[in-house]
Amino acid sequence: MINESLEIVSQPGAKDGDQVVRVAGVLTIHTLFNFQSAVRAETAPALILDFSGVSYVDSAGLGAIVGAMLSVQKAGRKFLLAGANQRVTALMEMTNVQKLLPNYASVELAEASLG
């Protein structure tokens, strides 16, 4: 089975006020609580989730991403996803989440979209 671990590292983005949260591992029902806590702790005007290190997301993990996005947007902040692999992207497409949450190919492209 999949190694159920998740590493989360937060660092400032290239532009002042941006925050990049680098996530690595799997985002599942077993690891989503740490993910939720890390996202809730961020207060930057723009939050970019770097998912380039995420190998797998289950339906609970996808729900956690959507919940995080809604929470950040409700607070009037921007939420972007970058670097999700084909497996994660396929899940987003199958559930139509990609319409709500575009996946940028890289953190740099996500940052550029902020202007």
Question: Helices marked H in the chain — which ranges?
Answer: 32-41, 59-74, 86-94, 107-113
Instruction: Decide if 15 is inside a domain.
Output: yes
Domain that holds residue 36: 11-51+63-113
pLDDT digits (tens), the chain, 115 positions: 456 899 999 999 988 889 999 999 999 999 999 999 999 999 999 999 999 999 999 999 999 999 999 999 999 999 999 999 999 999 999 999 989 888 999 999 999 998 7
Q: What is the CATH number of the domain that holds 19?
A: 3.30.750.24
19 exposure class (CB count in 10 Å sphere: 0-12, 13-18, 19+): middle
Q: Which two tokens stand for residue 32?
A: 């989503």
Instruction: Decide if 5 is inside a domain.
Output: no
